[in-house]
Structure 1
Amino acid sequence: MRESETLDGRVVLVTGGASGLGAAICNMLAAEGASIVIADLNEARAHENAHRLTEGGATACAATMDVGDQEQVAAALDLAIQRYGKLDAVVNNAGVDVTASIDELDVAAWERVLRTNLTGPFLMAKLAKNRLAPHGHIVNIASTAARRAWPNASAYHASKWGLMGLSHALHAELRGMGLKVSAVIAGGMRTPFLLDRFPDIDTSCLQDPENVARAVRFVLTQPDETVVPEVMVLPMKETSWP
């Protein structure tokens, strides 16, 4: 197996890596030999998860980071390189949502969602581009909210549709530098992102976040000559998709 087709020895930074899908991604990549940087706004939880991974024999560290803050993003990327000597991939997983009608959605909430879900991946790509190792990879976690729309989620939809546009634009722009860009479109998952806000949701219509983490592993382990620009992972009973 060629080096690009394994995660052993690779260094991956995951934003929003302290909980939910982010934690599932960190767990899966670490279990396969990657060194993980858990970048999260929640400092205590990021350090707790990094400690749990290292206690289990993996290699991991934590970075406190607001994805919308350019200086903090740069510092987290530099930490990865200082700690592990290189950076092979970044996974833009951090995301927020505000459930509100257009009348109830204030400008501050709109800007917070766009800053986290769209400006954050932009900053990460912009600042990681010249720090990534050869054949480096940027993975953007999108959503079925980038393919369909429902009421009371205009900020979230705008951010995720925008993220898909950004992801494909970067795929076109950066492939000439030998860098890969992939979007993983995730259907509903059994994570705090949904369960905490919608306690009455039918969990049988959701999927285990580990299943989406497998898709991240899949795109990261393609041969150097191959890139997967987009992949969608849905629960069998996905309600927001035909």
Structure 2
Amino acid sequence: MQLSGKVAFITGAASGIGKQIAELFAVEGASVVIADLNLQAAQQAAAQITASGAQALAIEVDVTDEDQVNAGVEAAVKAFGGIDILVSNAGIQIIQPVQDLSYADWKKMLAIHLDGAFLTTKACLKHMYAQGRGGSIIYMGSVHSKEASKLKAPYVTAKHGLLGLAKTVAKEGGSAGIHANVICPGFVRTPLVDKQIPEQAKELGISEEDVIQKVMLKDTVDGEFTSTEDVARVALMFAAFPSNALTGQSLMVSHGWGME
């Protein structure tokens, strides 16, 4: 097992991509912390993992609240003895053109995606440095970390920002064996994306099918959505990579939507 003896703190892990990552990490031997705003859903996800014989802990965390983040990380350390992997995955989406976007929504988006990444990183780094056994920090970016789309100004801005944070953490943490990388998925058919389809159809004045085929998947090589399993496999690669050779990097997982 690639993550035997490791402890992974995963935000937004009660559903979607985060849950898939938690399940795969558990199969690979990690003790996983399901950190989510929805405690009931987090408890259900953790129960499913423990029923399989792995270790999991559910924690209610608002990633924009520094005290909650710090308390959640401390609870994870108390339960499992440390933190080896952070997956900063919590996120939302708001669909609006810039001229109609409220300042409150702008700040909300940046707080969840960027402030949340900063706060969880800061809280976990303290333990990674103290433990002296390295660590892996994985940010959930997007192809929107590299590209822009209409109606998503704060999301695109935040996802671009994660690249800078990852590179900085990689530079600062390298001598301690701490890696920081960004996964950049294409459209993954999660509730977050399902919610966007009718919203974009309304804003763009097109059908929902056209949103899927002519907006979301038009630049893929095969007209397919990225799967949660695809993203989880990349997270495992980053989490298990044994050296500083793979740090400060971003990898698109998008059926060819974005290429570098």
TM-score, normalisation: structure 2: 0.86
Greater Cα offset, 94-103 or 172-181: 172-181
The corresponding residue for 2:8 is 12
The corresponding residue for 1:113 is 109
CA distance in 2, matches of 1:235, 1:70: 32
CA distance in 2, matches of 1:191, 1:152: 19
The corresponding residue for 2:38 is 42
State the secondary structure of the residue aligned to 2:8.
strand
Structure 1: segments with no counterpart, 5+ residues: none
CA distance in 1, matches of 2:242, 2:134: 10
The alpha carbon displacement at 1:31 in A equals 0.9
Matched letter for residue 152 of structure 1? L
The alpha carbon displacement at 1:241 in A equals 6.0
Contact 2:183/2:253, CA 8 A, preserved across alignment: no
Name the count of aligned residue pairs. Answer: 237
The corresponding residue for 1:124 is 120
CA distance in 2, matches of 1:161, 1:63: 28
CA distance in 1, matches of 2:183, 2:255: 17
State the secondary structure of the residue aligned to 2:141.
strand
Identity of aligned residues (%): 31
Given the alignment, which residue of 81, 94, 97 partners 2:93?
A: 97
Given the alignment, which residue of 213, 216, 220 partners 2:239?
A: 220
Contact 2:12/2:37, CA 8 A, preserved across alignment: yes
Structure 2: segments with no counterpart, 5+ residues: 199-207, 218-222
Q: Deviations over 1:191-218 (max 9, x none)?
A: 1110233153348531111111000100
Greater Cα offset, 162-171 or 113-122: 162-171
Q: Deviations over 1:68-97 (max 9, x none)?
A: 111011011111110011111110011111
Matched letter for residue 184 of structure 2? I
Contact 2:83/2:127, CA 8 A, preserved across alignment: yes
The corresponding residue for 2:147 is 148
Matched, 1:138 2:134: no
State the secondary structure of the residue aligned to 1:197.
helix
Contact 1:186/1:233, CA 8 A, preserved across alignment: yes
CA distance in 1, matches of 2:137, 2:246: 11
The 5 Å alignment of 1:1-242 reads: 6-132=2-128, 133=131, 134-198=133-197, 200=208, 201-202=212-213, 204-236=223-255, 238=257
Contact 1:215/1:233, CA 8 A, preserved across alignment: no
CA distance in 1, matches of 2:226, 2:62: 27
CA distance in 1, matches of 2:148, 2:173: 29
Question: Which structure is higher in helix share?
Answer: 2
TM-score, normalisation: structure 1: 0.92
Matched letter for residue 153 of structure 1? K
